[in-house]
Amino acid sequence: MDAGSVTFPRAETRQIMVGDVPVGGGAPITVQSMTITKTADVEGTLQQIYALAAAGADIVRCTCNEPEAAEGLARIVPRSPVPIVADIHHQYLRALEALEAGVDCLRLNPGNIRKPAHIKAVAQEAKDRNVPIRIGVNGGSLDPALYEKYGGRVTPEAMVESALQEIAYFEEVDFDLIKISVKASNVPLMIEAYRQLSEVTDYPLHLGVTEAGPPPQGIVKATAGIATLLAEGIGDTIRYSLTSDPVDEARMGRTLLESFGLRERKNVDLIACPSCGRAEIDVYEVAQQAQEAFADREIPLQVAVMGCVVNGPGEARDADLGIAAGNKRGHLFVRGTNVAVVPEDEMVPTLVEWAEYINDNGFDAAMERAKATRDQARRAAEEDRDRNLEALGDDANASEQVVELLRKRR
Ligand code: SF4
Nearest CA to ligand 1 atom 2: 308
Q: Tell which residue, 334, 264, 349, 354, has the closest CA to residue 56.
A: 264
CA atoms within 13 A on the CB side of 142: 26
Local structure of residue 4 (DSSP, 8 states): G
Q: Tell which residue, 330, 325, 385, 376, has the closest CA to residue 353.
A: 330
Q: Tell me, which fold does domain 269-392 have in CATH?
A: Sulfite Reductase Hemoprotein; domain 1 (3.30.413)
What type of residue is 314?
G
Say how many Å lie between the CA of residue 325 and the centre of ligand 1.
10
**∠ CA(26), CA(28), CA(32), 5° rounding?**
125
Do 3-259 and 269-392 share a fold?
no
Instruction: Kindly give the pairing relationship between strand 59-63 and strand 30-34.
Output: parallel
Query: Cα separation of 240 and 223, whole Å?
Result: 8
107, 87 in Cβ contact below 8 A?
Answer: yes
Q: What is the pTM of this model?
A: 0.82
Say how many Å lie between the CA of residue 46 and the centre of ligand 1.
44
Domain layout of the chain by residue ranges: 3-259, 269-392
Residue 1: Cβ-neighbour burial (10 angstroms; 0-12, 13-18, 19+): exposed
Say how many Å lie between the CA of residue 20 and the centre of ligand 1.
46
Does residue 315's CB lie within 6 angstroms of at least one atom of ligand 1?
A: yes
Nearest CA to ligand 1 atom 5: 275
Say how many Å lie between the CA of residue 308 and the centre of ligand 1.
5
Does residue 306's CB lie within 6 angstroms of at least one atom of ligand 1?
A: yes
Does residue 273's CB lie within 6 angstroms of at least one atom of ligand 1?
A: yes
Query: Cα separation of 290 and 281, whole Å?
Result: 13
CATH superfamily of 3-259: Dihydropteroate synthase-like (3.20.20.20)
The phi, psi pair for 50, rounded to 5°, reads: -65, -40
- pLDDT tens track, the chain, 410 positions: 344 567 788 999 999 999 999 999 999 999 999 999 999 999 999 999 999 998 899 999 999 999 999 999 999 999 999 999 999 988 999 999 999 999 999 999 877 777 888 988 999 999 999 999 999 999 888 888 999 999 999 999 999 999 999 999 899 889 999 999 999 999 999 999 999 999 999 999 999 999 999 999 999 999 999 999 999 999 999 999 999 999 999 999 999 999 998 998 888 989 999 898 889 899 999 999 999 999 878 899 999 999 999 999 988 888 999 999 998 999 999 999 999 999 999 999 999 999 999 999 999 999 999 999 999 999 999 999 999 988 888 777 777 787 888 888 87
Does residue 287's CB lie within 6 angstroms of at least one atom of ligand 1?
A: no
Say how many Å lie between the CA of residue 306 and the centre of ligand 1.
6
320, 310 in Cβ contact below 8 A?
Answer: no
Which residues are CB-neighbours of 246 under 8 A, at least 6 positions away?
33, 34, 35, 36, 48, 52
